Structure 1
């Protein structure tokens, strides 16, 4: 099987997702945490794009597996390495243990998703992409609001929610996608050009993701996410 010939347009977006995740790791190692977090958010956009293209264009045989590999890199390993570069020297064993737990739960979440034979209306557990968005937006907030123990709590919470069976809606409705997309763009642009407004936009994105995190408890109608 010629791997190049079977690649379709959605797969290109998936590969971009993975490359952005790897680039985020490189930036974190070089000490540019802000740029690394921006690349995580850009990976999320690429992930959403490959999902959209897969719905409207021809998908390849390897698309589903390629997507999970890219997500594991960009939303599992990359955020963990970024966080380790910030807090690893001080918290060592604690932060390493929590980050390994996060990666493990993320991989399990992706593996479970790949085993689903039929399309389901909701996700089982929080998507790993949403977890990465929440972590990235939190780290981009003003320093006075970012505390290592809050971050550790958030990591444990997201890890557990990823492996639960709580139903989380697939974000397809313009009513929610539009404001999230706008805030995504504002966070990326402001963080890349000027840090003055980035924390504010990051806080807005974090609050939106917090609402999504609570959706199974709040019983928000699925129509809101899809219309």
Structure 2
């Protein structure tokens, strides 16, 4: 008797579901607690959701790493995008609009916050669908990856509760996800930077370090440092392709001359 009525998931898929579970628990926290000050073990909604998003990012990295080591299933790509849509698409937008609506403000500010919620969510879904459909073989990411988008969006909540400002952040980050800006893949070279980011984000969420400094560093890193690294990596790849092409041309020329001399 067949146990699974679907394609049997493998170990990487379990990590992907861990990512989705972090997003689901964060969303449940928002639904049940709203923007309460303390929801669990002295942590506010913002702190708890932030920690769950960091954990979701760890799971999101582990599923790719284990798939490269042990092989993944045919579910992997689609399941990963669906999980990212929940954890890094819906949850950050819902968190910021919840904070914005709790803070009151003018009708215009609330309208901007709601519009930002829709733009951010749409940007995340479009970006994930585009990557899954046509860009999964690209050497780098085109558009702001959804985990980094979530990091930028949530970090803004540590500096302001103003509905207009939060709405503008959601609008900006949503647009960046469908932009032509390039970001490097999280390969082995990027792993130390990623681990450092996870640790800093967790410490900032727990108020162990000054959140404002971490937020500023995060925006500089994501919007300046990473695109520069992607541009340099792409330039080196183009140079390597040019060198390979030159070598191939010289090889063909030698073969042609050798053939003519016979």
Please confirm whether the aligned pair reaches a TM-score higher than 0.5, indicating the same fold.
Answer: yes
Deviation at 1:17, TM superposition (A): 0.4
Rg larger for: 2
Determine which of 169, 174, 189 is the counterpart of 2:184.
169
- The answer on 1:65 being equivalent to 2:78 is yes
Mapped to 1, the partners of 2:201 and 2:18 lie a distance apart of 20
Aligned length: 218
* Matching residue of 1:155: 170
- The answer to whether structure 1 residue 221 and structure 2 residue 239 are counterparts is no
Q: Secondary structure at the match of 1:221?
A: helix
Query: What are structure 2's unaligned runs of at least 5 residues?
Result: 37-44, 238-262
Aligned residue in 2 for 1:52? 65
1:97 & 1:155 partners in 2: Cα distance?
8
Segment of structure 1 superposing worse, 43-52 or 152-161: 152-161
Would the aligned equivalents of 2:96 and 2:166 in 1 still touch at CA under 8 Å? no
Q: Are the counterparts in 1 of residues 96 and 154 from structure 2 also a CA contact under 8 Å?
A: no
The correspondence for 2:220, drawn from 183, 203, 207, is 207
1:59-99 per-position Cα deviation (integer Å, ceiling 9, x unaligned): 11111111111000001100111112200242432211111
- Whether the 8 Å contact between 1:11 and 1:63 is mirrored in structure 2 is yes
Task: Give the superposition deviation at 1:189.
Answer: 4.0
Task: Give the aligned CA root-mean-square deviation in angstroms.
Answer: 2.9
Residue 187 (structure 1) aligns with = 201
TM-score, scaled relative to structure 1? 0.82
- Corresponding residue SS for 1:116: helix
TM-score scaled to structure 2, two decimals?
0.72
Spell out, residue by residue over 1:19-70, the C-alpha distance to the aligned partner (whole angstroms, 9 max, x if none): 1011111223313221112111211111111122222221111111111110
Judge which range, 99-108 or 180-189, deviates more.
180-189
Partners of 1:202 and 1:117 in 2: CA distance:
30
Superposed displacement of residue 137, structure 1: 2.7
Structure 1 pair 78/38, CA: closer, same or farther in 2 (3 Å)?
Answer: same
Q: Deviations over 1:137-175 (max 9, x none)?
A: 3323xx4x665444333322221221233332213243x
Paired with 1:64 and 1:3, the residues of 2 have a C-alpha distance of: 19
Contact 2:115 2:171 in 1 (8 A): no
Contact preservation (8 Å) 1:44, 1:133? no
**Distance in 1, Cα, partners of 2:175 & 2:131:** 16
User: In the superposition, relative to structure 1, how do residues 201 and 164 fare at CA in structure 2: closer, same or farther (>3 Å)?
Assistant: closer
